[in-house]
Amino acid sequence: MSERTEISTSDAPQNDNPYSQGRRVGDHLYVSGFGPVDPESGEELEGDIEAQTTRVLENVRGVVEEAGGSMDDVVKVTVYLTDLEAYDRMNEAYAAAFSEPLPTRVCVEVSRLPGDVVVEMDAIAYLG
């Protein structure tokens, strides 16, 4: 059985909910969903979808880097948006976080996210 390690970093939001920021299982890293929350203040970032998407991906990056990887190691992302009208604008900010080959992805519209944020993402990275 592969070793399972909890990944925790101050470069992503902390919380008191019952889940890990990330779990490494062998060469795979599973990153919990993050909204646009500043890890230092714990406050939700206000602003447009581009700024919020950038903050979300910085949170994901913090966990991936804590596990010894980089955004180039991300192989799968799930994007949750409360309004698909923001899809194209989210994509502009999203594309800036990754290089080729891009991770696989699914994007879904949801009725609501914790804290009433407008975007959240989780990710899987391969660190082999």
Residues forming the active site: 107
Query: Mapped to the 3 state alphabet, what secondary structure does the chain carry?
Result: CCCEEEECCCCCCCCCCCCCCEEEECCEEEEEEECCECCCCCCECCCCHHHHHHHHHHHHHHHHHHCCCCHHHEEEEEEEECCHHHHHHHHHHHHCCCCCCCCEEEEEECCCCHHHCCEEEEEEEECC
